Structure formats: structure tokens, C-alpha cells
Amino acid sequence: MGLHGMLVRISLIRLIISPVLVAAASLVKPADGCPNKCGDVEIPYPFGLTKVCSLDDTFLINCSNKVAKTGEVEEQINASLSTAMYTISKFKNKFTVVGCDTSAYLHGFQKGERYTIGCTSVCNSLRNVVDGSCSGVGCCEVAIPDGSDSISVEVKSFNNHTNVSNFNPCGYAFVVEQGKFYFSHHYLRNLSNDKLPMVLKWAVGNETCQEAAKKKKKIVCKGNSECTDYPTVSGYRCNCKSGYRGNPYLSHGCQDIDKCENPTLNDCTKAKHCVNTKGGYTCGCSKWYHGDGRKNGEGCIADPLLVLKIAFVAGISLIAIVVVCSWLYFVIKKRRLVKLKEKYFQQNGGLILQQQLSSEEGSSKTFKTFTAKELKKATSYYDKSKIIGRGGYGIVYKGFLPDNRIVAIKKSKTVDENQIEQFINEVVVLSQINHRNVVKLLGCCLETQVPLLVYEYVPNGALFNHIHKESITSTISLSWNTRLRIAVEIADALSYLHSAASIPIIHRDVKSTNILLDDDFIAKVSDFGTSRLVPRDQKQLVTVVQGTLGYLDPEYMLTNQLTEKSDVYSFGVVLVELLTGQKALSFARPEEQSSLAMYFLYALKEDKLFEILANGIADEDNMEQVKEFMKLATKCLKVKGDERPTMKEVASELDGLRKMEKHPWDNVESN
């Protein structure tokens, strides 16, 4: 295998040349036939492509389009470079080593003294190799000492690449211009680039500026330029003086820059007061001002008389502006408020809502439009202490109206098209409903940035909190009779929505958190944000699935077809909650029983229903009621919607169970 790839030929060498910003033609010696390019590379004087066109033989550039064969150098194991009048740039180059079993050394001379630097690159596989990184895994790099004028490279392998030969048969070492070599893991197998650039420093002669100046004819710096010594390079370099640019090695090569044309080249406070001079510029000031006119100086200072004049004019103008602005403010204030309210009204779907309400029969005649000021005052400007609930579409505040009524004010979140639809839907649905077990909608406010709904206040909170004891107000244990009554009231409300409302309504999010309890623990169904009106000639709606996990109808989830039986399934889960006191979805239960419906049906299958009942639910007096309640819950949880009862049938059965409480079976039999 050998180490033939240890050196990539350094066949392209760049010289650090002072930047020049004038036309290319002015960079070369003004002699007939002096070319200024080798390929695409500009060759500025003192360099040249012929003896006539260069300063001397040391600046003669050999330009050839012929490329040496790669194999001529790749067979070398050690390589060296001697630069004579040039030194290798420390800041522009890196000594780089590529390989997974490779160490390399660079030997050189710096000011006549020998030195050695090294770099080791190791990797057992390609998994840890990162493209673009030369930190020691597959690739490493180190800086080289400044002022080196000759180098040689030595490359070694720890194990002759025997352990990594399948992906890295060779190692490589080379000096390359910083930023011109991007490491890739593909190079471990074959580094095909046989030409990489290296940057050399150069200088004129081998004397300092002072020594060359003593020999007046020997120094090569021309007009408007200055000589500069470099500590790591023998000789000197020429640079154009401040305010000039061009080629300092040519007569008239350094030309004056018009500092006033480019704002970055001067610090005059105003461009029109900038005056260009040879090698510099001056700044001036406008009439009635004095100073140096510079941003970094004293600038331009107003004369005292001008200050008084400006102050007088400014005072009169200010008074006039205040008078005019005050007049305009009172004139347009009312118009702006009206327009803003109109904007919010339309933004919140007010026009659509009006059309919907006017087209629906039986809309509530007591529905009121509240002002933003009324609701702010009612909630103490939406104080956090007034928050009584948070939902998927907004926050609910407790409010106090001037007539001493307590209300619940639902403030929607940031408005978007979907939320406007939910808001309008809830208003339209609730406007159709007049039932003691449905939360009553009192009105709304559309002149605010987000829409507001005003409901009757239901003081005892959500049924969920009382079942699961998750609220400090839920200290009262719900008895079996209370639970049964609540179930009857919920079923009666849903039955009304499905079959007695002017247009049938599917709630679509029946759950214990959407069932509120008043002072007497009377149940009221709430949150109609996702509900849908169903034309009487339709039995089902195709919609995007919405609802709450644990309560969602499995058939609805599979088919996207919403029917009233979807509410029946969700109500069945609420019935099981009332029976067991457990949550609709709990990951504390086994995975296959995390859903309360599955947990209940599993207990039914294993004949363990009475083992999962909440404490105090079943006793000798109500055993028959509980059994019938369980049977009804099981019917509601049928997977196929067609096999579930209607809400009207469910309400009827539950009402029958309550009558069992008033007329126990033993009394019936004795009579």
C-alpha cells in the first residue's frame, strides 16, 4: 500500500500583495506589451511575466498552462520547499494532516534556526469523523511559525494503515492556505486534489527602509507612498499614503481618493460641506453655524442669534400645532372610536352572527349586546382573581352587573378564522335553546379585539371537580340519589337538544367538565363551541373529528361521521364516571384500560363491576337501581352507533330508575 499519498503537491502559490483599488491597467509597468494576467490571476507590478515588465529577476513570474503529472510527486515520501526571497505566512497557512493512522512532522528554518512541529490524526472508524472539522479525528491542523523560508514534510503511520485500510489506505500531509481546504470523510479513501494553494510573504530586496533610503536610487517606493519594514521578512514593502490608493511601485501609481464621494471615507456632518484636498479633505458649516463640521469633532454649532430666531419660530409653531391638534382630536375622536368598533364587530363575525340569528326561528328575545366598558367594570378590568375557568377557546371570568346579577364572561383567545367560527357557532346554538338544564346565554360583546360571551353564573363549578375532588369547593360528597338525579338532568338536556330543539343540535363535547352545578346542584350543560346544528333531513354530518380523548365516540373517530349517537357514547362515559369516581382517561391504569370505557367493559366481562364502584354508591336499598344504571351505561358504550339507544330512550330509562327510588320494589310487591 505504501505512503505515496502523504504529500499533496503544492503547485499553486499565492503571494500576499498589498490591495489596490484602481483599474487593472494601472497596476502593471507602463511598458509596451506588458501583460497583466496569468490565466485569471492579475499580476501587478513589481511582479511581471517578463524581465522588462518586472522589477528584477526575483519578481519574474513563470506563467505556464502546462500541468505536471500527478504521479511525479505522489511517489515521494518526503518533500521539501525552499523559497529563497519569500517566507511562508503564519496567519494565512495551516499545516494539515489527513488520515486515521497518521502522524506528520514539518521541519523548517526560521531566521537560520531549525524547528519541528507535528500533528497526529487518528480514527478507528468513520462514525466519529465530522466533515469540515480538523480537530484530530480523521484530520488535524496546526499553525506554522512565522518567517519560515524552507520546509520539509515527514509522514508516518503507526500500524502501516493495517487496521483502517478498508476506508483509509493512505495518509496525507501538506501546507495549505487557510480556508482553501475543506475536509471531507471521502478524502480518507482518496485525496484527489493534487493542487492546493499556499501563501508566501514577499518584500523588496533584503534591506530595511532606512538602509535603502541612504541609497536614493535603490528605494523603489514612488510618489505619495511610504516605506514599511516587516519583522519576519527581509526587505521592505511600499504602501500608498493615507488618502491615496493605487500601486505604490509605479510612478503616479498612488492617486488621490475623492473622500467626499464616499461617506465612509469622511466624517463631515453634511456631505455638501465636504471639500476634497490632496490626500485629505475639509468640512464646513452652513450659514449661521460655526465649527469644524466633523462628526467626531465639535461639529457645527448654531450662532446665538439663530438660536433665538429658531426658538421664537418654534414657540409660535408649537402653540399653533397644539391648538390645531386639540381641535382635530375632538373632531376625529368619535369617528375613530366608531370605526374601531365597526372593525372589531366585523372582525369578530358580527355581520355573519346577525344574519345567522335573524334567519333562525326561536332565537332568544332576551339576548343583549353589552358594551366593552360594562364588561370591563363587571370583571374589575379582567382581574386574575376573577378567573373561574379556562377552556380550549378562552378564559371564563366571574362578573357583577349593575343590576346585581352575577354572570360568567367568556373571553376568547386571539382571534383567527377558526375561533370566529367557533364563537358564532356557540352563539347561534345557544340562542336556540331554552332549557333549565342548559346554561343560559344572556348576551355578547363584539366591539372588543376578542369576542365576549355573557352567561348565567353557575356557582358550584364543574361536575368533574365534585366527582374527582379536584377543587377546594368540592367538599360535599355526591350521594347516589344526587348522582342519579344529575344523570337524569343531563340526559334530559341532551334529549332536548337532539329531538325537541327547533333545529337538532349535536353537542360534540359531552364531558364532566362541561356540566356545571348550580346552588342546588342542578346540572346544566355548557360549552357549545364545537356543537353543530343538524338539518332535520340529515342523520349525520361529515366533519373533522373534535372532542376530548376518553369521551370520543370510536365510530366517529374512524369515519368522521358525526351523529347524535356520538353524544350518547360520550354521555355513557359520564355515567361510568358517576358510578366509579374515576377519570375518563388515566395512565395510572394498565395501558389497555387507560380509557374508562374500556376499563368498565373489562370489569363487566370479568364480572367485577361492583369492585370498581366508588365508595358509598351501592347498598341494599339501591342495588337494583345501580344494576340497571350499569346496564344502561353499557348500552351507551356500544362500539356501533346503531346499537346504542337514543338520548330520548336514555332519558326515559333514567327517569324510570328515579321512580324506583320513590317506589321500592319490595313495596310494590307487597301492594
Extract the annotated binding site for ATP: 411
Beta strands 368-369 and 441-445 are parallel
The C-alpha atoms of residue 268 and residue 246 are separated, in whole angstroms, by: 24
Count structural domains, the chain.
4
pLDDT score of 352? 78
Helix, strand, or coil (residue 17): coil
Q: Are residues 485 and 618 in the same domain?
A: yes
Q: Are residues 90 and 220 in the same domain?
A: no
The C-alpha atoms of residue 244 and residue 252 are separated, in whole angstroms, by: 11
* Domain end marker among 136, 170, 201: 201
H-helix or E-strand containing 154?
strand 148-157
Q: Are residues 232 and 130 in the same domain?
A: no
The C-alpha atoms of residue 384 and residue 33 are separated, in whole angstroms, by: 87
The C-alpha atoms of residue 487 and residue 259 are separated, in whole angstroms, by: 89
Q: Which residues of 351-365 are buried (b: 16+ CB within 10 A; e: fewer)?
A: eebeebbeeeeebbe
Q: Are residues 166 and 196 in the same domain?
A: yes
Helix, strand, or coil (residue 11): coil
Task: Render pLDDT for 115-125 as a digit per residue (tens, 0 to 9).
Answer: 999 999 999 89
* Domain end marker among 434, 457, 480: 457
Task: Render pLDDT for 413-459 as a digit per residue (tens, 0 to 9).
Answer: 766 666 677 677 777 777 778 899 999 988 888 888 888 889 999 99
pLDDT score of 363? 54
- The per-residue pLDDT of the chain, averaged, comes to 83
Q: Are residues 594 and 543 in the same domain?
A: yes
The C-alpha atoms of residue 283 and residue 454 are separated, in whole angstroms, by: 69
**Does residue 382 sit within a domain?**
yes
Of 96, 94, 93, the C-alpha closest to 14 is 93
Of 255, 200, 203, the C-alpha closest to 228 is 203
Task: Render pLDDT for 559-603 as a digit per residue (tens, 0 to 9).
Answer: 989 999 999 999 999 999 999 999 999 888 888 889 999 999 999
State the first-to-last Cα distance of the chain, in angstroms, to the nearest integer: 110
Q: What is the CATH number of the domain that holds 635?
A: 1.10.510.10
Which residue's C-alpha cell is 493512522?
101
pLDDT score of 353? 77
CA distance readout (Å), 270 to 287, 294, 303, 458 = 13, 9, 18, 71
Q: Are residues 24 and 148 in the same domain?
A: yes
Q: Are residues 439 and 469 in the same domain?
A: no
pLDDT score of 337? 79
Task: Render pLDDT for 380-423 as a digit per residue (tens, 0 to 9).
Answer: 999 999 998 876 667 899 999 999 999 999 887 766 666 677 67
Task: Render pLDDT for 339-373 as a digit per residue (tens, 0 to 9).
Answer: 888 888 887 777 777 777 776 655 556 678 888 88
3-state secondary structure 631-651: HHHHHHCCCCHHHCCCHHHHH
Q: Are residues 66 and 165 in the same domain?
A: yes
**Does residue 297 sit within a domain?**
no
Determine contact, residues 307/301, Cβ cutoff 8 Å: no
**Which range (201-210, 300-309, 570-579) has the least confidence?**
300-309
**Does residue 288 sit within a domain?**
no
The C-alpha atoms of residue 57 and residue 336 are separated, in whole angstroms, by: 83
Q: Which residues of 20-35 are buried (b: 16+ CB within 10 A; e: fewer)?
A: beeeeebbbbeeeebe
Local structure of residue 27 (DSSP, 8 states): G
In this structure, what are the phi and psi dihedrals at residue 314, rounded to the nearest 5 degrees? -65, -40
Of all residues in the chain, what percent carry a pLDDT higher than 90?
A: 35
Residues marked active site are found at 509
* Domain end marker among 411, 441, 457: 457
Mean pLDDT on 11-30? 46
The boundaries of the domain holding residue 140 are 12-201
pLDDT score of 287? 82
Q: Are residues 582 and 612 in the same domain?
A: yes
Q: Are residues 358 and 472 in the same domain?
A: no
Q: What is the CATH number of the domain that holds 398?
A: 3.30.200.20
**Does residue 116 sit within a domain?**
yes
Contacts of residue 653, defined as CB under 8 A and 6 or more positions apart, other chains included, come to 628, 632, 645
Which residue's C-alpha cell is 313495596?
667
pLDDT score of 73? 32
Spacing of C-alpha 478 from chain mean position: 48
* Sign of torsion over alpha carbons 305, 310, 312, 313: positive
**Does residue 355 sit within a domain?**
yes
The C-alpha atoms of residue 163 and residue 186 are separated, in whole angstroms, by: 17
**Does residue 582 sit within a domain?**
yes
pLDDT score of 130? 94
More confident call, 631 vs 211: 631
In sequence order, which ranges of 164-203 are alpha helices (DSSP H)? none
Q: Are residues 446 and 539 in the same domain?
A: no
Extract the annotated binding site: 411
Amino acid identity for residue 142 in this structure: V
Task: Render pLDDT for 91-143 as a digit per residue (tens, 0 to 9).
Answer: 899 999 999 999 999 999 887 789 999 999 999 899 999 999 999 999 999 99
pLDDT score of 32? 57
**Does residue 642 sit within a domain?**
yes
Q: Are residues 589 and 440 in the same domain?
A: no
**Does residue 267 sit within a domain?**
no
pLDDT score of 346? 80
pLDDT score of 243? 87
